[in-house]
Structure 1
Amino acid sequence: MKQEHRVKENTMAKHHPELDILMEHAAGSLSLAQSACVSAHLNYCDCCSQTVQRLQAVGAAMFESLDPEPVGDALLDRVLARLDEEPPLSYQPAQRSGQDATPALLSRLMAGDFSDLVWKKVTEALRITPIRTGDPQFEFSLLHIKAGGEIPPHDHRGSEMTLVLQGGFSDDRGSYHPGDFIYRSANEVHAPRAFADEDCLCLAVIDAPLRFTGWKYRWMNPFLRLQAG
């Protein structure tokens, strides 16, 4: 059963990762792409950021209490050789100037602006562009939904993490705004619709292609491929 954590009312986001996801993030056991998505949410949410810091502090204290284990020369040499490497997803949290501020981590991964990206049209309302994270198991993409546009009903063959960056959307479970984090398990069907007054920009992390459930778009399913890496 997923664990919940309390969130202060004055946080920028209203929908947050479950505590078990934050625990995995703090422990470094999430995949690279999923961890990047959670990190982007922390850019919006002080409460989740503080929760992760507390979890990391607890983990560090527990680690220090363990008895030391001998380390072989080969392993020590490999660790020392990597000390000068630049962490691929490290960044300093940006000062928040508003809800539409692009998370610093995402800006770094894009290596440019949204206008520099190559977008692929999926439906009349949906465009998508993958962003490379180096994670071979998960696709890390930006989704652009036209104002008032709907992604046709679909489920996923795997999990999906979504973070709203600009605008917002709603489905049968609620409404989502910048900073909101949504997790969907395999076989959960939904049909996100962007708010009528503004285009919606989301970050999505999936480990299997989406699958349209309506007859009008099912023909596309065999052509949908995961673009991980």
Structure 2
Amino acid sequence: MPNSHLDDLILAEYASSSLGEAQSVFVASHLTLCPDCRRVNQGFEKIGGLFIHHENDSPIEDGCFYKILDNIESSRESKELKKQDDILAELKEIPKPIRDKLPESLGSIKWKKLGKNISFIELECNQPKTSMKLMKLSAGTHIPVHSHGGKEYTMVLSGGFSDQYGRYERGDVAIRDVLEIHEPVVDEDSECVCFVVTEAPLKIKGFIGFIISKILG
């Protein structure tokens, strides 16, 4: 089971179709790997359904939303999800919402190189100033210390990495905003493949940093 989850706010925005294209793909992809967040999302969808059902009908029963929210919270602690998640954790496929954005079939994907340790695939994105990428980083790769011009959404698809805020493995998400600075380091024993959404270029100091931010931003 992923240990780093999406927060309730972004799940509520996803359930109400309030997110942009790239952020929606990110959330949808995480939901394929995380039973906990799927349960939470289903709860928010039920709330949305209640609004639609009662919009031109009778008032909603007092306390109805709180009962649903209580069920959402308890679902995070349910041990019954462990067996299902153990199966999901073994899967190595790229989540379908990401596959649907790939320009070619999986067998003919061409990774672009950025130095010897970083490869990436740019995914089609029609959202202004926002990019979606699959990134593959060699074992032990250090990404230079950087901040962000906008939010950066990262989800691990295979392998793992660490930064100042924690360690991330398959299905885990790391969302950094403009005030956060970090230095991701890939695990020493295997390469790491991530799905990354950026709302603006990274801010990395120096000429090399400028080149990297232009390519990856």
Instruction: Calculate the TM-score normalised by the size of structure 1.
Output: 0.74
One-letter code of the match for 1:109? K
Instruction: Report the Cα distance in structure 2 between the residues aligned to 1:51 and 1:14, rounded to whole angstroms.
Output: 15
Give 1:137 shift. Answer: 4.0
On the 8 A contact 2:201/2:213 being kept in 1, the answer is no
Q: Deviations over 1:181-221 (max 9, x none)?
A: 111001421111111111100000111011213x4634426
1:37 pairs with 2:26: yes
1:186 pairs with 2:178: yes
Give 1:101 shift. Answer: 3.0
1:197 to 189, 195, 198: 189
The answer for the alignment partner of 1:141 in structure 2 is: 133
- What SS does structure 2 have at the residue aligned with 1:175? strand
Query: Identity over the aligned pairs, expressed in percent?
Result: 29
Structure 2 matches for 1:1-229, cutoff 5 A? Answer: 12-67=1-56, 96=88, 98-110=90-102, 111-113=104-106, 116-213=108-205, 215=206, 217-220=208-211, 223-224=214-215, 226=217
One-letter code of the match for 2:27? V
Instruction: Report the Cα distance in structure 2 between the residues aligned to 1:218 and 1:137, rounded to whole angstroms.
Output: 19
Q: Deviations over 1:107-147 (max 9, x none)?
A: 2222421x533333334322222111433342111111101
Q: Deviations over 1:65-123 (max 9, x none)?
A: 1139xxxxxxxxxxxxxxxxxxxxxxxxxx8471423212222222421x533333334
- Gap change, CA 1:139 and 1:123, over 3 Å in 2: same
Instruction: Report the Cα distance in structure 1 between the residues aligned to 2:30 and 2:127, rounded to whole angstroms.
Output: 19
Q: Which runs of 5+ in 2 are unaligned?
A: 58-86
Instruction: Report the Cα distance in structure 2 between the residues aligned to 1:222 and 1:201, rounded to whole angstroms.
Output: 19
Instruction: Calculate the TM-score normalised by the size of structure 2.
Output: 0.78
Give 1:160 shift. Answer: 0.7
Q: Which runs of 5+ in 1 are unaligned?
A: 1-11, 69-94
- Gap change, CA 1:150 and 1:99, over 3 Å in 2: farther
Alignment RMSD (CA, Å): 2.2
Q: Report how many residues are paired.
A: 187
Instruction: Report the Cα distance in structure 1 between the residues aligned to 2:176 and 2:134, rounded to whole angstroms.
Output: 17
